[in-house]
Amino acid sequence: MGIENMKMPQLGESVTEGTISKWLVSPGDTVNKYDPIAEVQTDKVNAEVPSSFTGTIKELIAEEGDTLEVGEIICSIEIEGGGSAPQEEAPKEESKKESSKQPESTQKPAKSPSKDSGNKARYSPAVLKLSQEHDIDLNQVEGTGNEGRITRKDLKKIIESGNIPKAGDAPVEKAEAEAPQAPAQDQVPSQPAAASKQAAPSVPVAPGDIEIPVSGIRKAIAANMVRSKHEAPHAWTMMEIDVTNLVDYRNSLKTEFKQREGFNLTFFAFFVKAVAQALKEYPQINSMWAGDKIVQKKDINLSIAVATDDALYVPVIKNADEKTIKGIAREITELAGKVRSGKLTSQDMQGGTFTVNNTGSFGSVQSMGIINYPQAAILQVESIVKRPVVMNNGMIAVRDMVNLCMSLDHRVLDGLVCGRFLQRVKEILENTSKETTSVY
């Protein structure tokens, strides 16, 4: 028999941590390789984590609600025929001999190094919330989790005992004086400093105020947004486009299209297709910043923003330049359905090179999006509205107009190439009509 550790997997590009939303197994359960053992939530996806081994669940190291970095141990599994067992026998025997020679008081401090490592300071949202509700100073708590990590069980025991450690109290069960613990945010290198400083501001709560716990996915979205604004120097540009012919064309098709295909032909599909075509002609836009180089991506994989009541997801339409308007409309419908039914997979989220956001769906006419890190730009498609426009002949006419708003990473892109890119998108859209464009 041997013990193997299951670690938090990376469930998408740029994902650095995940939250255990639900355990699907308990200690003592037998699992086969690839059986789902837990549901994990990140800023990009909800996914089931499969077992990497066949064996018996020995210990669930992470609790439901715990947020762990990619690579951290979430549970241990006892497997048949493991090679690690024989190597562990000698140390176990040695430790028994040592224990008989040394008094208990000299053995206790041995736990100290692991408890005071970075793991103790990375508190899960559930632990942080419980400590704030009961005014518990976490620096005074001895954790019983992996490498001294503080768990909800530890806090519940303290709450039940009534012995609540406050800031300034002497640490309990410390063998010797220690240096003051650094704030938790200084020990989590994966989070930007700006995000960490804003993680727990002191906000007065008055009677009648509602406190809403920050979910794992909302916390991850916040960290990624702050990272994008902190690292990427954002610039912004907007272009006004006359889509009257496009609107007439789409409206003439929509009823017959829905009856024939079974899904809607949306305006957004036309915009996504135009963006994909323009990216092929201006590949500089389809790039990412990589520190000492810029990576210009070959594939045109468009991330589309899909919102739920409490989160924003960005599934990906892969090779969008190779798809028809009908094909893009189908993928938009399918991906949005997966998001809202909770069936989106990590594969659906990976590989995005540029983001198109349909902000016009809720009536916005002008907005500045935050870049979907590490991409170099994001395009906001605003609401199509009827406005009086002065035509080339000097006459005033009511036209269907839309604003396209583009945020760009100024390390990667300059205004000239972005202006030309938007001009090309404008040209494609303004020339979309029954005579020039096929949706098939």
Exposed e or buried b per residue across 224-254, where buried means at least 16 C-beta atoms within 10 angstroms of its C-beta: bbbbbbeebebbebebebbbbbbbebbeeee
Chain centroid, CA 402 distance in Å: 30
Band (pLDDT 50/70/90 cuts) for residue 147 is low
Q: Rounded mean pLDDT of 131-143?
A: 81
431 or 10: which leads in pLDDT: 431
Q: What residues contact residue 41 under an 8 Å CB cut-off, 6+ apart?
A: 18, 19, 21, 215, 216, 217
Kindly write down the DSSP assignment for every residue of 379-409, as one continuous string.
EEE---EEEEEE-TTS-EEEEEEEEEEEEEE
Residues 207-228, mean pLDDT to the nearest whole number: 84
Which DSSP state fits 371? P
Q: Which of 135, 169, 299, 414 does the annotation list as catalytic?
A: 414
Is-catalytic flag, 134? no
Query: What pLDDT does residue 345 have?
Result: 85
Percentage of residues of the chain with pLDDT beyond 90: 52
414 assigned to active site: yes
Q: Which band of pLDDT confidence, cut at 50, 70 and 90, is reported for residue 121?
A: low
Question: In the CATH scheme, what architecture does the domain 2-101 have?
Answer: Beta Barrel (2.40)
How, if at all, do strands 294-296 and 234-242 pair? unpaired
Beta strands in 257-321 (DSSP E): 287-289, 294-296, 302-304, 306-307, 312-313, 316-317
Question: How high is the pLDDT of residue 347?
Answer: 87
User: Reduced to 3 states, what is the DSSP secondary structure of residue 236?
Assistant: strand
User: Pairing relation of β-strands 354-357 and 377-381?
Assistant: parallel
Q: Which residue has the higher pLDDT, 177 or 417?
A: 417
Which segments of the chain belong to CATH 3.30.559.10?
Answer: 234-430
CA-to-CA distance for 422 and 96, rounded, in angstroms? 72
Mean pLDDT value across residues 288-313: 91
Residues 164, 162: Cα–Cα separation, whole Å: 6
228-279 confidence digits (pLDDT tens): 999 999 999 999 999 999 999 999 999 999 999 999 999 999 999 999 999 9
Angle between helix 244-261 and helix 267-281 axes, rounded to 10 deg: 110
Query: Whole-angstrom Cα distance, residue 115 to residue 324?
Result: 57
Q: What are phi and psi of 157, to 5 degrees?
A: -65, -40
Q: Which of 78-82, 222-226, 416-420, 429-433 has the lowest mean pLDDT?
A: 78-82
Q: What is the pLDDT of residue 123?
A: 64
Mean of the pLDDT values across residues 165-172? 59
Residue with tokens 């809202």: 340
When mean pLDDT is compared over 19-28, 87-96, 124-133, the highest value belongs to 19-28
Span of 191-200, 211-220, 223-232, 352-361 with lowest mean pLDDT = 191-200
Residues 6+ apart with CB under 8 A from 128: 138, 200
- What pLDDT shows up at residue 407? 97
Beta-bridged to residue 396, according to DSSP, are: 390
Q: What is the pLDDT of residues 25-44, one digit of tens each?
A: 999 999 998 888 998 887 66
| Single pTM value for the model | 0.63
The CATH classification of domain 234-430, taken from the options 3.30.559.10, 3.40.50.620, 3.90.800.10, 3.40.50.2300: 3.30.559.10
Judge whether 344 and 313 are in contact, CB under 8 Å.
yes
- pLDDT level of residue 141 (50, 70, 90 thresholds): confident
Structure tokens at 183: 């704030």
Cβ contact 289:412 at 8 Å: yes
- pLDDT at 220 (0 to 100): 76
- In this prediction, residue 17 has a pLDDT band, given cuts at 50, 70 and 90, of confident
- Please state which of the ranges 26-30, 86-90, 340-344, 346-350 shows the lowest mean pLDDT: 86-90
Number of H helices, E strands in the chain: 13, 19
Catalytic residue of the set 169, 230, 299, 410: 410
Binned at pLDDT 50, 70 and 90, residue 355 comes out as very high
Residue with the bigger pLDDT between 26 and 119: it is 26
* Lowest mean pLDDT across 26-30, 161-165, 290-294, 414-418: 161-165
Nearest to 115 by CA among 140, 138, 149, 141: 149
CB 299 within 8 A of CB 293: no
pLDDT given for residue 193 in this prediction: 39
Average pLDDT value for residue range 328-352 = 92
The reported pLDDT for the residue numbered 310 is 73
Q: Which residues, including other chains, have CB under 8 Å from residue 171's CB and lie 6 or more apart?
A: 139, 140, 178
What is the location of CATH 2.40.50.100 in the chain? 2-101
Mean of the per-residue pLDDT values for the chain? Answer: 82
Q: Which of 167-181, 299-313, 365-379, 384-398 has the lowest mean pLDDT?
A: 167-181
How many residues does the structure list for the chain? 440
Do 79 and 30 meet the contact criterion of CB atoms below 8 Å apart?
no
Q: How far apart are CA 63 and CA 122, in angstroms?
A: 14
Work out the angle between the directed axes of helices 325-341 and 244-261 (0-180°, nearest 10): 70
Q: Which of 27-36, 288-297, 306-315 has the lowest mean pLDDT?
A: 306-315
Angle between helices 244-261 and 415-430 (to 10 degrees): 70
Tokens 């590009």 belong to which residue?
A: 13
Residue 111 has pLDDT above 70, yes or no: no
Residue scoring higher pLDDT (436 or 127): 436
Rounded CA gap, 15 and 43, in Å?
8
- pLDDT attached to residue 133: 75
CA nearest 184: which of 123, 249, 245? Answer: 123
Q: Mean of the pLDDT values across residues 364-372?
A: 96
What tokens were used for 422? Answer: 């938007």
